């Protein structure tokens, strides 16, 4: 009898457990979806090394001659190393095409745009593994989603757009660079965008803008202006004053891996500078050579400085 009672109780317990699981699964459906999404979020595959808070770009030198990327005919304008995907993304202006390379610059494919993005794409930055940041000469910064299929059947499209309230004062002197500053225990993540400027015209000014991460905004596929209530935009310093006598334009930029300093490249001055992103104080300078018309910069997977030239050259500076 006791055995039969125990069996009956066990069956009741199992049945109750099944009912409980069924009800719980219904009520926790959203939670399950959230957990599934979180487990699918990308994480950096490699950490960038050999670059710390004390590193200065003046210590970097050329070890090998520049290499030309044969897949890009002309107008290479920006580059970023994406630690999430463990590859380089290089962008071409006047075409809106993004080219993909591995760490040794072996060609992986290209992505064409879909949606409303100006063809004059000038700057590019990694973001979170499934998105990139793209700056255009039309004074618009885009957060774009990319889709990777088979070779050369890939594309990207805008999911959020930030626009300056006015077109550049001088034609072809709009946004030229964009850089992502990841969060840390001391700061929130930020995006920096740079207006090109030039030493050849007094009305074309270098300007640096910073604004909150696009992920903080819940409005998708909207044109958000830098001066609206949804996006808090700051001009942390006057670039014309901070860089006077040092550089005359901004052609690209990136944050160092620590996020403590901003590295800017000047095409007109053939120079890179390392600055405090809050004050604009120039901490270090590097005179560039080896290729003409430098247009972009990133930090490679081993902490190397990787510069791109509009004539489609890659020039690498290292400290080892």
Cα distance between residue 95 and residue 312, in whole Å: 14
Q: Mean per-residue pLDDT for 288-303?
A: 93
Q: Do residues 169 and 220 both lie within one domain?
A: yes
The reply to whether 12 falls in a domain is: yes
Q: Do residues 32 and 80 both lie within one domain?
A: no
Cα distance between residue 302 and residue 47, in whole Å: 8
Q: Do residues 72 and 10 both lie within one domain?
A: no
Torsion of CA 234, 244, 274, 258, to 10 degrees: -20
CATH of the domain at 86: 2.120.10
The reply to whether 79 falls in a domain is: yes
E strand or H helix at 308:
strand 305-309
b/e per residue 18-44 (b: at least 16 CB within 10 A): eeeeeeeeeeeeeeeeeeeeeeeeeee
Q: Greatest CA span in the chain, whole angstroms?
A: 100
Q: Mean per-residue pLDDT for 184-200?
A: 87
The reply to whether 123 falls in a domain is: yes
Q: Do residues 175 and 306 both lie within one domain?
A: yes
- Read off the tokens for 59: 């210590």
Handedness of CA 168, 174, 180, 186 (dihedral sign): negative
Q: Do residues 65 and 9 both lie within one domain?
A: no
Q: Do residues 191 and 68 both lie within one domain?
A: yes
Cα distance between residue 110 and residue 118, in whole Å: 17
Q: Do residues 141 and 288 both lie within one domain?
A: yes
The reply to whether 155 falls in a domain is: yes
* R_g over Cα of the chain: 24
Q: Do residues 9 and 155 both lie within one domain?
A: no
The domain of 36 spans 2-40
Query: Which pLDDT score, from 0 to 100, does residue 44 have?
Result: 73
Q: Mean per-residue pLDDT for 71-83?
A: 93
Q: Do residues 308 and 239 both lie within one domain?
A: yes
Q: State pLDDT tens for residues 60-70.
A: 999 899 999 99
Q: Do residues 36 and 61 both lie within one domain?
A: no
Q: Do residues 238 and 298 both lie within one domain?
A: yes
Question: What are the phi and psi torsion angles at 2 (to 5°)?
Answer: -60, -40
The reply to whether 124 falls in a domain is: yes
E-strand ranges in 14-167 read 61-62, 67-68, 76-82, 87-92, 97-101, 107-113, 121-126, 131-136, 140-147, 154-163
Q: Domain tally for the chain?
A: 2
Cα distance between residue 158 and residue 142, in whole Å: 6
Q: Please tell me the total number of residues recorded for the chain in this structure.
A: 320
Q: Give 206's DSSP letter.
A: -
Q: How confident is the model at residue 31 (pLDDT cuts 50, 70, 90)?
A: very low
Q: State pLDDT tens for residues 203-243.
A: 788 999 998 765 444 444 445 555 555 556 789 999 999 99
The reply to whether 51 falls in a domain is: no
Q: Do residues 6 and 99 both lie within one domain?
A: no
Least confident of 30-34, 154-158, 177-181, 263-267: 30-34
């Amino acid at each position: 009898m006791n055995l039969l009672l125990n069996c009956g109780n066990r069956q009741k317990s199992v049945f109750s457990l099944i009912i409980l699981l069924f009800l719980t699964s219904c009520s926790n459906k959203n939670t399950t979806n959230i957990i599934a999404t979180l487990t699918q979020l990308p994480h950096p595959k490699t950490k960038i090394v050999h670059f710390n808070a004390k590193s200065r770009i003046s210590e970097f030198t050329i070890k090998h001659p520049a290499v030309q990327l044969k897949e890009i005919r002309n107008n290479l304008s920006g580059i970023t190393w994406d630690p999430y995907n463990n590859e380089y993304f290089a962008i071409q202006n006047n075409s809106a095409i993004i080219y993909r390379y591995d760490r040794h610059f072996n060609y992986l494919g290209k992505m064409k745009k879909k949606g409303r993005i100006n063809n004059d794409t000038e700057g590019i930055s990694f973001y979170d593994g499934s998105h990139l940041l793209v700056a255009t000469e039309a004074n618009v910064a885009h957060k774009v989603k990319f889709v990777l299929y088979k070779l050369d059947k890939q594309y990207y499209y805008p999911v959020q757009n930030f626009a300056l309230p006015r077109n550049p004062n001088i034609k072809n002197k709009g946004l030229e660079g964009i850089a992502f500053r990841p969060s840390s225990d001391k700061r929130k993540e930020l995006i920096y965008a740079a207006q090109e400027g030039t030493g050849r015209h007094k009305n074309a000014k270098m300007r640096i803008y910073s604004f909150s991460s696009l992920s903080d905004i819940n409005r998708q596929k909207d044109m958000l202006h830098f001066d609206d209530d949804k996006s808090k935009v700051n001009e942390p310093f006057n670039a014309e004053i901070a860089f006077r006598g040092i550089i005359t334009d901004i052609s690209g930029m990136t944050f160092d891996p620590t996020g403590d300093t901003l590295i800017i490249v000047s095409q007109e001055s053939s120079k890179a500078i390392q600055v405090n992103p809050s004050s604009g104080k120039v901490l270090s300078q590097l005179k560039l050579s080896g290729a003409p018309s430098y247009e972009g910069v990133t930090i490679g997977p081993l902490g190397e400085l990787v510069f791109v030239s509009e004539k489609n050259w890659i020039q690498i500076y290292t400290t080892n």
